[in-house]
Amino acid sequence: MSSDAEREPPIELPAPTYWPMFTALGITLGFAGLVTHVLVTAVGVVLVIRGAIGWFREVLPVERVERVPLRPPAQRAAPVRAVARARTLLPGEDGHRMRLPVEMHPYSSGLAGGLAGGAAMALVACAYGLIAHGSPWYPINLLAAVAMPSLAAADTARLSAFIPLAFAIAAVSHAVVSIFVGLVYAAILPLFPNRPGLWGGLLAPLLWSGLLWATFGVINPTLNARIDWPWFIASQFAFGLVAGAVITRTQRIRTLQTLPFAARAGIEAPGLTHEHEEEER
């Protein structure tokens, strides 16, 4: 046989056309004119009509086609051969499709780190009170002024005195905020690549200090008017370094993302649980 006899007839495919895009542009302009100008809608209507005419002429009365010749059999790609099914990696297996962080600190470390950091921050603040005003109660009363309007207009002598109610309010609020920030530290420190304690002790206090600097005028005007920012930032660094050191020293635990959904949701599924136990073995 000759090569012409072996050649198969070409395949007929719909011919490429740009009229659908032309019509879509007209529709877009038509709706855009509803919120801009009526002339934009008019242009869109003209484009839609022209695009529709061109589009219909591509298919009526006879569809326009394009004939694509086939390659000779010797030049075609080899047929796909079926092979044994490859082993599929499960989520979490060999690092497959893991969500960061893979390991996290327990929440108890955030609680301990927050309390330790809060104590370090309180020591720096009280040292400032002793050095600048001769009384450790000065920063404590400033902190309590957010909940005690009577301290908002108090003088330095009043703020330097021991006030039991102010001490209780400041201690409770400081402990609650310290625990909350400690829990946040425990959640975000595993996301830092290297030296998470250093990042948490330097970067986070800078960001937190900047946020408070921008909002103290509304949160606590008394503290904002009398705050000593170098000492305040030093206390923030004390919190970050101590809390970060306490949290990073705890042993991390693996997240539950490697477990099947049934195990994470607490659903009784003996078949899935049994399969997962066999995989771990």
Quick: pLDDT tens for 216-274: 777 667 667 777 888 888 888 888 888 888 888 888 877 776 666 666 666 665 655 44
**Mind listing the domains of the chain with CATH numbers?**
9-70 (1.10.287), 103-250 (no CATH)
Rounded Cα gap, residues 123 and 126, in angstroms = 5
Count Cβ atoms below 10 Å from residue 157 Cβ, excluding itself: 9
Residue 64 main-chain phi, psi, to 5 deg = -80, 130
pLDDT tops 70 at residue 1: no
Rounded Cα gap, residues 190 and 118, in angstroms = 21
pLDDT tops 90 at residue 123: yes
Q: pLDDT band for 124, please (50, 70, 90 cuts).
A: very high
Mean predicted lDDT score pLDDT of the chain:
79
- Over residues 99-119, the mean pLDDT reads 84
Q: pLDDT band for 2, please (50, 70, 90 cuts).
A: very low
pLDDT tops 90 at residue 158: no
pLDDT in tens, 136-149: 998 888 888 877 87
pLDDT in tens, 4-44: 545 678 888 888 888 999 999 999 999 988 888 889 899 99
Q: Which of 4-8, 128-132, 150-154 has the highest mean pLDDT?
A: 128-132
Tokens of 30: 């038509």
Between 47 and 281, the more confident residue is 47
pLDDT tops 90 at residue 186: no
How much is the pTM? 0.55
Rounded Cα gap, residues 74 and 69, in angstroms = 14
Cα–Cα nearest to 139, from 156, 116, 115: 156
Rounded Cα gap, residues 149 and 169, in angstroms = 13
pLDDT tops 70 at residue 97: no
Helices and strands: H and E segment counts in the chain = 12, 4
Query: Which of 39-48, 106-115, 197-206 shows the lowest mean pLDDT across its residues?
Result: 197-206
